[in-house]
Amino acid sequence: MDLVIARREGLYCPPGNFYIDPWRPVPHAVITHGHGDHARTGNGHYLAAAPGEGILRTRLGQDIDLQVLPYGQRLVHNGVTVSFHPAGHVLGSAQVRLEYQGEVWVASGDYKVEADGTCAAFEPVRCHTFITESTFGLPIYRWQAQQQVFEEINQWWRANIEAGRPSVLFAYAFGKAQRILHGIDASLGPILAHGAVEPLNRVYRAAGVELPPTLYATEFKKTDPTLRQALIIAPPSAAGSTWMRRFGQYSDGFASGWMRLRGTRRRRGVDRGFVLSDHADWPGLLWAIEQTGAERVMVTHGSVAVLARYLREQRGLDARGFDEAGMSEFERDDD
Ligand SMILES: [Zn+2]
Ligand SMILES: [Zn+2]
C-alpha cells in the first residue's frame, strides 16, 4: 500500500488522512518548510518541525492552528507515525518520515546536503520509499563549496567600495538572504536589508542563528557617505522598482543556483551572478538518495524524468516521477 499518493490538493497520506505541503486548503496539513510553494494559508490544522514555527507564523499569520514537533520526535496520527528530520534547506526545513505497519516512507521536501550554519544540517533517514525533490536534478549542476562563493561576493563588494558605489545583491528573502548574511565578511561595510528581508532576519536571530547587524535601507539617508560602502540585500522583486532609486549609481548581483545556466545573468539584467543554491546539486541528490537505502524512489519538484531514468538505469532502483499536475500553476519562490 502506498503511504503517499498524488491528489488534486497535493501529496496525500491515505491511512493518516493528511496532506504534505498541500497546494489547496485541506483540514490537515503537514508542512516541510515555510517557502511559499510548500506552506500556504487556508489549511485547518498545521503540523511542522519546531524550529520553523517563527517562520510559519511570520509568513502565514500568528494565529494559524499550528502544532510543532522537535526534530526526531514521533507523533502517531490515525495509526501513522510521523516525525520530522533536518533537510538542511532553510530554518525549520524538514523531511517527513511516515511509518505504517512496518513500511517507512520519507518525503524530502526541499533539501541541501552542504551544511551552512543557518539551519540544522541534512540528516539522511533510512526508508523503503524516498520521495525526493529534483530542482537541480541534471548532471550540469555541481556547486562550488559555498566558502568560494562567499569569497567572490566579498571581492565584488570590496571592488565596489573602492569604486565608490553601493552593492545591491538580490536573493530570495527567506533562506538565501540569511545564508548570505551569515557567510559574508560583515566587516567590509554597513549592511542594509529590504523590508521583505529584515523581518525574516529577526526570526533567524530569535532562533539563535548568528547574523551580522542589518539596517532597514529606509533608515539610511541618501546623502550618508557610508551608503556607498554598503551591501544591500533585496528580494528579486525589488529589481527595477522605485525603491532602488535611493542608491544612485550601484552595482547589482543575483545569488541563485540558476546562475549556473548560461544567459540567466543577462536575462536578469544584473552585473554579477553568484551560483548559490539552497538545494542539493546532482551529486548531492545521488548521495542523499543512496544514504536512505530506499529501493523505491519517487521523484518530484524539478528534473523528474532525467533523475528518475538515471536512478533506474544506473542504480537499478525502482524510480519514477510523481505526478504533480496541480503544482505547475504555482510559482516557486526559492532556489
Ligand atoms: Zn524551499
Ligand atoms: Zn520548493
- Rounded to an integer, the average pLDDT of 62-83 is 98
Three cell numbers at 129?
A: 520509499
* CA distances from residue 16 to 11, 37, 300, 327 in whole angstroms, order as listed: 12, 22, 21, 22
User: Kind and range of the H or E element at 212?
Assistant: none
pLDDT value at position 324?
61
Return the ligand number nearest the Cα of 93. Answer: 1
Could you tell me which residue, 93 or 329, shows the higher pLDDT? Answer: 93
Q: Above 90 in pLDDT, residue 332?
A: no
Residue 62 Cα to ligand 2 midpoint, Å, equals: 22
Euclidean distance between CA atoms 310 and 55, whole angstroms: 35
Residue 78 Cα to ligand 2 midpoint, Å, equals: 27
Of 3-17, 191-205, 215-229, 249-263, the one with minimum mean pLDDT is: 215-229
pLDDT value at position 94?
98
Residue 208 Cα to ligand 1 midpoint, Å, equals: 21
Residue 261 Cα to ligand 2 midpoint, Å, equals: 19
Q: Above 70 in pLDDT, residue 326?
A: no
Of 121-125, 155-159, 266-270, the one with minimum mean pLDDT is: 266-270
3-state helix, strand, coil in the chain (%, to 5): 30, 25, 45
Reported pTM = 0.95
Per-residue pLDDT tens over the stretch 187-215: 999 999 999 999 999 999 999 999 999 99
Per-residue pLDDT tens over the stretch 271-286: 999 999 999 999 999 9
Euclidean distance between CA atoms 55 and 202, whole angstroms: 10
Residue 133 Cα to ligand 2 midpoint, Å, equals: 8
What's the CATH number for 146-274? 3.40.50.10890
Enumerate the β-bridge partners of residue 280: none
Residue 168 Cα to ligand 2 midpoint, Å, equals: 25
Q: Above 60 in pLDDT, residue 331?
A: no
Share of the chain above pLDDT 90, in %: 89
Contacts of residue 67, Cβ cutoff 8 Å, sequence gap at least 6: 45, 46, 47, 48
Could you tell me which residue, 121 or 240, shows the higher pLDDT? Answer: 121
Residue 24 Cα to ligand 2 midpoint, Å, equals: 15
Domain residue spans in the chain? 5-141+279-329, 146-274
Share of the chain above pLDDT 70, in %: 96
Residue 194 near residue 220, CB atoms below 8 Å = no
pLDDT value at position 329?
43
Q: Above 50 in pLDDT, residue 330?
A: no
- Rank 109-118, 212-221, 314-323 by mean pLDDT and report only the highest: 109-118
- Rounded to an integer, the average pLDDT of 163-181 is 98
Domain 5-141+279-329 and domain 146-274 have a common topology: no
What's the CATH number for 5-141+279-329? 3.60.15.10
pLDDT value at position 322?
84
**pLDDT tier at 222, thresholds 50, 70, 90:** confident
